[in-house]
A and B are shown apart, each in its own frame.
Chain A
Protein backbone atom coordinates (compact mmCIF):
# COMPACT_ATOMS: atom_id res chain seq x y z
CA UNK A 1 0.00 0.00 0.00
CA UNK A 2 2.82 2.36 0.88
CA UNK A 3 4.49 1.59 -2.46
CA UNK A 4 1.22 2.29 -4.35
CA UNK A 5 0.99 5.58 -2.48
CA UNK A 6 4.57 6.45 -3.44
CA UNK A 7 4.34 5.55 -7.12
CA UNK A 8 1.74 8.16 -8.19
CA UNK A 9 3.87 10.91 -6.74
CA UNK A 10 6.58 9.97 -9.26
CA UNK A 11 4.25 10.94 -12.10
CA UNK A 12 3.08 14.24 -10.67
CA UNK A 13 4.46 17.24 -12.49
CA UNK A 14 6.62 19.44 -10.35
CA UNK A 15 7.05 18.33 -6.73
CA UNK A 16 10.52 17.16 -7.74
CA UNK A 17 11.64 16.91 -4.13
CA UNK A 18 8.73 14.62 -3.33
CA UNK A 19 9.55 12.53 -6.42
CA UNK A 20 13.18 12.28 -5.38
CA UNK A 21 12.25 11.23 -1.86
CA UNK A 22 9.76 8.62 -3.13
CA UNK A 23 12.28 7.18 -5.59
CA UNK A 24 15.02 7.11 -2.95
CA UNK A 25 12.71 5.36 -0.52
CA UNK A 26 11.67 2.80 -3.14
CA UNK A 27 15.29 2.11 -4.04
CA UNK A 28 16.24 1.84 -0.37
CA UNK A 29 13.48 -0.68 0.27
CA UNK A 30 14.59 -2.91 -2.56
CA UNK A 31 18.34 -2.35 -2.29
CA UNK A 32 18.94 -5.49 -0.23
CA UNK A 33 17.70 -7.70 -3.05
CA UNK A 34 18.74 -6.05 -6.34
CA UNK A 35 22.07 -5.84 -8.19
CA UNK A 36 24.48 -2.97 -7.78
CA UNK A 37 25.48 -0.59 -10.58
CA UNK A 38 27.01 -2.58 -13.45
CA UNK A 39 30.75 -2.13 -14.08
CA UNK A 40 30.96 -3.64 -17.57
CA UNK A 41 29.33 -2.81 -20.91
CA UNK A 42 26.91 -5.69 -21.37
CA UNK A 43 24.39 -4.56 -24.00
CA UNK A 44 22.99 -7.73 -25.60
CA UNK A 45 25.94 -9.99 -24.80
CA UNK A 46 23.58 -12.44 -23.12
CA UNK A 47 21.60 -12.78 -26.36
CA UNK A 48 24.68 -13.38 -28.50
CA UNK A 49 26.03 -15.98 -26.07
CA UNK A 50 22.68 -17.78 -25.97
CA UNK A 51 22.43 -17.80 -29.74
CA UNK A 52 25.99 -19.15 -30.08
CA UNK A 53 25.18 -21.98 -27.66
CA UNK A 54 21.63 -22.87 -28.58
CA UNK A 55 20.69 -21.42 -31.96
CA UNK A 56 23.90 -21.04 -33.98
CA UNK A 57 21.98 -21.42 -37.25
CA UNK A 58 19.96 -18.28 -36.44
CA UNK A 59 22.67 -16.05 -37.88
CA UNK A 60 26.33 -16.32 -38.91
CA UNK A 61 29.64 -16.00 -37.07
CA UNK A 62 30.30 -12.82 -39.10
CA UNK A 63 27.05 -11.30 -37.89
CA UNK A 64 27.74 -12.30 -34.32
CA UNK A 65 31.19 -10.73 -34.62
CA UNK A 66 29.53 -7.54 -35.86
CA UNK A 67 27.16 -7.47 -32.89
CA UNK A 68 30.07 -7.84 -30.50
CA UNK A 69 32.02 -5.12 -32.35
CA UNK A 70 29.08 -2.76 -31.72
CA UNK A 71 29.24 -3.51 -28.00
CA UNK A 72 32.97 -2.80 -28.00
CA UNK A 73 32.38 0.49 -29.82
CA UNK A 74 29.78 1.42 -27.23
CA UNK A 75 32.22 0.50 -24.48
CA UNK A 76 34.73 2.90 -26.00
CA UNK A 77 32.21 5.72 -25.96
CA UNK A 78 30.75 5.08 -22.49
CA UNK A 79 34.09 4.28 -20.87
CA UNK A 80 32.64 1.11 -19.34
CA UNK A 81 35.08 -1.76 -19.88
CA UNK A 82 34.37 -4.73 -22.13
CA UNK A 83 33.27 -7.74 -20.05
CA UNK A 84 35.47 -10.79 -19.47
CA UNK A 85 35.37 -13.25 -22.34
CA UNK A 86 33.90 -10.93 -24.96
CA UNK A 87 37.11 -10.37 -26.94
CA UNK A 88 37.72 -14.12 -26.80
CA UNK A 89 34.27 -14.78 -28.21
CA UNK A 90 34.88 -12.13 -30.88
CA UNK A 91 38.13 -13.87 -31.77
CA UNK A 92 36.31 -17.16 -32.11
CA UNK A 93 33.66 -15.72 -34.46
CA UNK A 94 36.39 -14.03 -36.53
CA UNK A 95 38.15 -17.38 -36.76
CA UNK A 96 34.92 -19.11 -37.82
CA UNK A 97 34.39 -16.53 -40.56
CA UNK A 98 37.93 -16.86 -41.88
CA UNK A 99 39.34 -13.61 -40.49
CA UNK A 100 42.48 -15.15 -38.99
CA UNK A 101 44.40 -11.94 -38.33
CA UNK A 102 41.48 -10.24 -36.62
CA UNK A 103 40.96 -13.44 -34.60
CA UNK A 104 44.57 -13.48 -33.41
CA UNK A 105 44.34 -9.83 -32.44
CA UNK A 106 41.09 -10.29 -30.50
CA UNK A 107 42.46 -13.29 -28.60
CA UNK A 108 45.59 -11.30 -27.76
CA UNK A 109 43.46 -8.45 -26.45
CA UNK A 110 41.58 -10.85 -24.19
CA UNK A 111 44.88 -12.12 -22.75
CA UNK A 112 46.15 -8.59 -22.19
CA UNK A 113 42.99 -7.32 -20.52
CA UNK A 114 42.45 -10.51 -18.54
CA UNK A 115 45.72 -12.36 -17.79
CA UNK A 116 43.58 -14.98 -15.95
CA UNK A 117 42.58 -16.15 -19.44
CA UNK A 118 46.10 -16.79 -20.80
CA UNK A 119 46.27 -20.54 -20.23
CA UNK A 120 42.84 -21.15 -21.73
CA UNK A 121 43.26 -18.78 -24.70
CA UNK A 122 46.57 -20.42 -25.63
CA UNK A 123 44.86 -23.78 -25.41
CA UNK A 124 41.95 -22.60 -27.56
CA UNK A 125 44.42 -21.39 -30.18
CA UNK A 126 46.02 -24.84 -30.27
CA UNK A 127 42.61 -26.53 -30.38
CA UNK A 128 41.61 -24.38 -33.37
CA UNK A 129 44.72 -25.66 -35.14
CA UNK A 130 43.63 -29.24 -34.49
CA UNK A 131 45.41 -30.15 -31.27
CA UNK A 132 43.48 -32.47 -28.97
CA UNK A 133 43.54 -32.21 -25.16
CA UNK A 134 43.05 -35.32 -23.04
CA UNK A 135 40.07 -34.80 -20.76
CA UNK A 136 39.08 -38.13 -19.33
CA UNK A 137 36.10 -38.09 -17.00
CA UNK A 138 36.27 -40.35 -14.00
CA UNK A 139 33.51 -42.95 -13.75
CA UNK A 140 31.89 -42.27 -10.40
CA UNK A 141 29.47 -44.45 -8.45
CA UNK A 142 28.50 -41.74 -5.99
CA UNK A 143 28.22 -38.03 -6.63
CA UNK A 144 30.53 -36.95 -3.87
CA UNK A 145 30.89 -33.38 -5.10
CA UNK A 146 27.17 -32.56 -4.81
Chain B
Protein backbone atom coordinates (compact mmCIF):
# COMPACT_ATOMS: atom_id res chain seq x y z
CA UNK B 1 0.00 0.00 0.00
CA UNK B 2 2.78 2.37 1.02
CA UNK B 3 4.77 1.54 -2.13
CA UNK B 4 1.75 2.14 -4.39
CA UNK B 5 1.20 5.54 -2.79
CA UNK B 6 4.86 6.40 -3.29
CA UNK B 7 4.79 5.38 -6.94
CA UNK B 8 1.62 7.39 -7.58
CA UNK B 9 3.09 10.44 -5.78
CA UNK B 10 6.31 10.32 -7.79
CA UNK B 11 4.53 9.90 -11.11
CA UNK B 12 2.10 12.75 -10.34
CA UNK B 13 4.90 15.08 -9.29
CA UNK B 14 7.09 14.18 -12.24
CA UNK B 15 4.16 14.71 -14.62
CA UNK B 16 4.38 18.39 -13.74
CA UNK B 17 8.09 18.81 -14.47
CA UNK B 18 9.61 17.60 -17.70
CA UNK B 19 12.49 20.00 -18.29
CA UNK B 20 15.13 22.10 -16.54
CA UNK B 21 13.79 24.93 -14.39
CA UNK B 22 14.36 28.40 -15.93
CA UNK B 23 17.09 30.74 -14.69
CA UNK B 24 15.36 33.05 -12.21
CA UNK B 25 18.24 35.55 -11.81
CA UNK B 26 16.70 38.34 -13.90
CA UNK B 27 13.23 37.69 -12.51
CA UNK B 28 14.41 37.95 -8.89
CA UNK B 29 16.35 41.11 -9.63
CA UNK B 30 13.54 42.79 -11.58
CA UNK B 31 10.72 41.92 -9.14
CA UNK B 32 7.93 43.30 -11.34
CA UNK B 33 4.70 44.32 -9.60
CA UNK B 34 2.60 44.42 -12.76
CA UNK B 35 2.25 42.34 -15.90
CA UNK B 36 0.86 43.57 -19.20
CA UNK B 37 -0.47 40.57 -21.12
CA UNK B 38 -0.47 41.40 -24.82
CA UNK B 39 -2.97 39.97 -27.33
CA UNK B 40 -1.47 36.58 -28.26
CA UNK B 41 0.00 35.58 -31.59
CA UNK B 42 -2.09 32.77 -33.01
CA UNK B 43 -0.64 29.95 -35.11
CA UNK B 44 -3.74 27.79 -34.60
CA UNK B 45 -6.89 27.65 -36.72
CA UNK B 46 -9.13 28.56 -33.78
CA UNK B 47 -9.91 32.24 -34.24
CA UNK B 48 -11.21 32.70 -30.70
CA UNK B 49 -8.15 31.13 -29.06
CA UNK B 50 -6.46 34.47 -28.23
CA UNK B 51 -9.61 35.77 -26.48
CA UNK B 52 -10.00 32.52 -24.56
CA UNK B 53 -6.36 32.63 -23.59
CA UNK B 54 -6.51 36.22 -22.37
CA UNK B 55 -9.69 35.67 -20.36
CA UNK B 56 -8.24 32.58 -18.71
CA UNK B 57 -4.68 33.74 -17.97
CA UNK B 58 -5.62 36.82 -15.97
CA UNK B 59 -6.80 34.82 -12.97
CA UNK B 60 -3.73 32.68 -12.21
CA UNK B 61 -1.37 35.60 -12.87
CA UNK B 62 -3.33 37.84 -10.48
CA UNK B 63 -3.49 35.04 -7.91
CA UNK B 64 0.29 34.78 -8.17
CA UNK B 65 0.40 38.32 -6.76
CA UNK B 66 0.66 40.58 -9.80
CA UNK B 67 -1.41 43.48 -11.03
CA UNK B 68 -2.73 42.29 -14.39
CA UNK B 69 -3.81 45.06 -16.74
CA UNK B 70 -7.47 44.51 -17.71
CA UNK B 71 -7.11 42.58 -20.96
CA UNK B 72 -10.28 43.87 -22.62
CA UNK B 73 -9.25 47.48 -21.97
CA UNK B 74 -5.77 46.82 -23.26
CA UNK B 75 -7.34 45.36 -26.40
CA UNK B 76 -9.62 48.39 -26.77
CA UNK B 77 -6.74 50.81 -26.18
CA UNK B 78 -4.67 49.26 -28.96
CA UNK B 79 -7.69 49.28 -31.26
CA UNK B 80 -8.39 52.97 -30.59
CA UNK B 81 -4.79 53.69 -31.45
CA UNK B 82 -4.86 51.84 -34.75
CA UNK B 83 -3.38 48.50 -33.73
CA UNK B 84 -5.54 45.42 -34.19
CA UNK B 85 -3.02 42.83 -35.37
CA UNK B 86 -1.19 40.93 -32.62
CA UNK B 87 2.03 40.77 -34.63
CA UNK B 88 2.17 44.57 -34.85
CA UNK B 89 1.47 44.85 -31.13
CA UNK B 90 4.26 42.38 -30.34
CA UNK B 91 6.64 44.53 -32.38
CA UNK B 92 6.14 47.66 -30.29
CA UNK B 93 9.40 48.39 -28.44
CA UNK B 94 8.96 47.16 -24.89
CA UNK B 95 10.22 50.43 -23.39
CA UNK B 96 7.38 52.21 -25.21
CA UNK B 97 4.92 49.85 -23.53
CA UNK B 98 6.51 50.71 -20.19
CA UNK B 99 6.05 54.41 -20.90
CA UNK B 100 2.47 54.12 -22.17
CA UNK B 101 1.09 51.58 -19.72
CA UNK B 102 3.35 52.04 -16.72
CA UNK B 103 3.87 48.27 -16.85
CA UNK B 104 6.84 46.66 -15.08
CA UNK B 105 6.79 43.62 -17.34
CA UNK B 106 5.16 42.40 -20.52
CA UNK B 107 3.86 38.91 -21.27
CA UNK B 108 4.10 37.63 -24.84
CA UNK B 109 2.05 34.59 -25.76
CA UNK B 110 2.33 32.58 -28.95
CA UNK B 111 -0.49 30.07 -29.37
CA UNK B 112 0.95 27.14 -31.31
CA UNK B 113 -2.00 24.77 -31.23
CA UNK B 114 -5.57 25.10 -30.07
CA UNK B 115 -8.51 22.89 -30.90
CA UNK B 116 -9.10 19.32 -31.79
CA UNK B 117 -8.10 16.84 -34.44
CA UNK B 118 -10.47 14.09 -35.42
CA UNK B 119 -9.43 10.70 -36.66
CA UNK B 120 -12.04 8.02 -37.36
CA UNK B 121 -11.79 6.29 -34.02
CA UNK B 122 -10.30 8.96 -31.81
CA UNK B 123 -10.47 12.67 -31.16
CA UNK B 124 -7.75 14.68 -29.52
CA UNK B 125 -8.12 18.14 -28.00
CA UNK B 126 -4.91 20.11 -27.55
CA UNK B 127 -3.88 23.49 -26.25
CA UNK B 128 -0.29 24.54 -26.71
CA UNK B 129 1.29 27.94 -26.18
CA UNK B 130 4.70 29.44 -25.51
CA UNK B 131 4.69 32.19 -22.88
CA UNK B 132 7.47 34.70 -22.28
CA UNK B 133 7.78 37.42 -19.64
CA UNK B 134 10.03 40.38 -20.39
CA UNK B 135 11.20 43.28 -18.19
CA UNK B 136 9.55 46.40 -19.63
CA UNK B 137 12.47 48.71 -18.84
CA UNK B 138 15.44 46.60 -19.88
CA UNK B 139 13.83 44.22 -22.38
CA UNK B 140 15.53 41.29 -20.64
CA UNK B 141 13.69 37.98 -20.53
CA UNK B 142 12.55 37.26 -16.98
CA UNK B 143 10.84 33.93 -17.52
CA UNK B 144 9.41 31.64 -20.13
CA UNK B 145 7.32 28.52 -20.10
CA UNK B 146 5.17 26.27 -22.23
CA UNK B 147 1.55 25.41 -21.78
CA UNK B 148 0.70 22.02 -23.25
CA UNK B 149 -2.32 19.94 -22.46
CA UNK B 150 -3.76 17.11 -24.53
CA UNK B 151 -6.91 15.14 -24.04
CA UNK B 152 -7.95 12.19 -26.16
CA UNK B 153 -11.35 10.56 -26.32
CA UNK B 154 -11.54 7.68 -23.92
CA UNK B 155 -12.68 4.56 -25.70
CA UNK B 156 -10.96 1.83 -23.73
CA UNK B 157 -12.84 -1.49 -23.93
CA UNK B 158 -15.70 -0.01 -25.98
CA UNK B 159 -15.02 -1.77 -29.27
CA UNK B 160 -14.83 -0.07 -32.65
CA UNK B 161 -18.36 1.38 -32.69
CA UNK B 162 -17.95 2.63 -29.15
CA UNK B 163 -14.66 4.25 -30.08
CA UNK B 164 -16.21 6.05 -33.05
CA UNK B 165 -19.15 7.30 -30.99
CA UNK B 166 -16.84 8.41 -28.21
CA UNK B 167 -14.65 10.28 -30.67
CA UNK B 168 -17.67 11.99 -32.24
CA UNK B 169 -19.02 13.06 -28.85
CA UNK B 170 -15.61 14.44 -27.90
CA UNK B 171 -15.43 16.21 -31.25
CA UNK B 172 -18.87 17.75 -30.73
CA UNK B 173 -17.94 18.98 -27.28
CA UNK B 174 -14.52 20.16 -28.39
CA UNK B 175 -16.10 22.15 -31.21
CA UNK B 176 -17.93 24.09 -28.52
CA UNK B 177 -14.51 24.99 -27.13
CA UNK B 178 -15.35 23.66 -23.69
CA UNK B 179 -12.69 20.98 -23.57
CA UNK B 180 -10.00 23.37 -24.80
CA UNK B 181 -11.08 25.95 -22.26
CA UNK B 182 -10.84 23.40 -19.46
CA UNK B 183 -7.43 22.28 -20.69
CA UNK B 184 -6.26 25.91 -20.85
CA UNK B 185 -7.51 26.59 -17.34
CA UNK B 186 -5.81 23.64 -15.74
CA UNK B 187 -2.74 24.03 -17.94
CA UNK B 188 -2.22 27.72 -17.17
CA UNK B 189 -2.68 27.12 -13.46
CA UNK B 190 -0.13 24.33 -13.62
CA UNK B 191 2.26 26.49 -15.65
CA UNK B 192 2.17 29.65 -13.53
CA UNK B 193 1.88 27.96 -10.15
CA UNK B 194 4.57 25.35 -10.66
CA UNK B 195 6.89 25.54 -7.67
CA UNK B 196 9.95 24.77 -9.78
CA UNK B 197 9.08 26.19 -13.22
CA UNK B 198 6.39 28.79 -12.56
CA UNK B 199 6.22 32.51 -11.87
CA UNK B 200 7.82 33.70 -8.65
CA UNK B 201 5.39 35.20 -6.17
CA UNK B 202 4.45 38.78 -6.93
CA UNK B 203 4.11 41.52 -4.28
CA UNK B 204 0.34 41.07 -3.84
CA UNK B 205 0.45 37.41 -2.90
CA UNK B 206 -0.95 36.70 0.56
CA UNK B 207 1.59 35.51 3.11
CA UNK B 208 1.26 31.79 3.97
CA UNK B 209 -1.34 31.00 6.63
CA UNK B 210 0.05 30.99 10.12
CA UNK B 211 2.88 33.42 9.45
State the A residues within 8 Å of B (CB): 1-3, 25, 29-30, 32-36, 38-40, 42, 45-47, 49-50, 52-54, 83-86, 88-89, 92, 114, 116-120, 123-124, 127, 132-140, 145-146
Contacts and interface: CB of A to CB of B under 8 A. Distances in A.
Interface stretch (B53-61, B118-126, B162-170): B53-61
Contact of A45 (B48, B59, B204): B59
A138 B91 contact: yes
A49 B181 CA distance: 14
B70 A135 contact: no
A118 B78 contact: no
B31 interface: no
B91 A117 contact: no
A38 B8 contact: no
B67 A84 contact: yes
B13 interface: yes
A135 B195 contact: no
Most buried by B among A1, A84, A134, A146: A84
A116 B67 contact: yes
Contacts of B193: 34-36
Interface residues of B, number: 64
A135 B96 contact: yes
Nearest to B185: A46
Contacts of B33: 116
A89 B69 CA distance: 10
Interface of B: 1, 4-5, 8-9, 12-13, 15-16, 33-34, 48, 51-52, 54-56, 58-60, 62-63, 66-73, 75-78, 80-83, 88-93, 96, 100-104, 108, 110, 130, 132, 134, 139, 141, 189-190, 193, 195, 204-206
B12 A30 contact: yes
Most buried by A among B33, B63, B73: B73
B89 to A, nearest CB: 7
Given A84-B62, A127-B80, A145 B5 contact: no
A49 B102 contact: no
Contacts of A124: 73, 77
A110 B113 CA distance: 35
B55 A133 contact: no
B68 to A, nearest CB: 5
B81 A135 contact: yes
A2 B62 contact: no
Given A47-B55, A49-B55, A85-B70, 12 more contacts: A2-B8, A32-B12, A34-B189, A39-B205, A54-B51, A84-B69, A86-B70, A88-B73, A127-B77, A132-B81, A133-B81, A140-B91
A118 B54 CA distance: 21
Given A54-B51, A137-B88, A49 B93 contact: no
B62 A145 contact: no
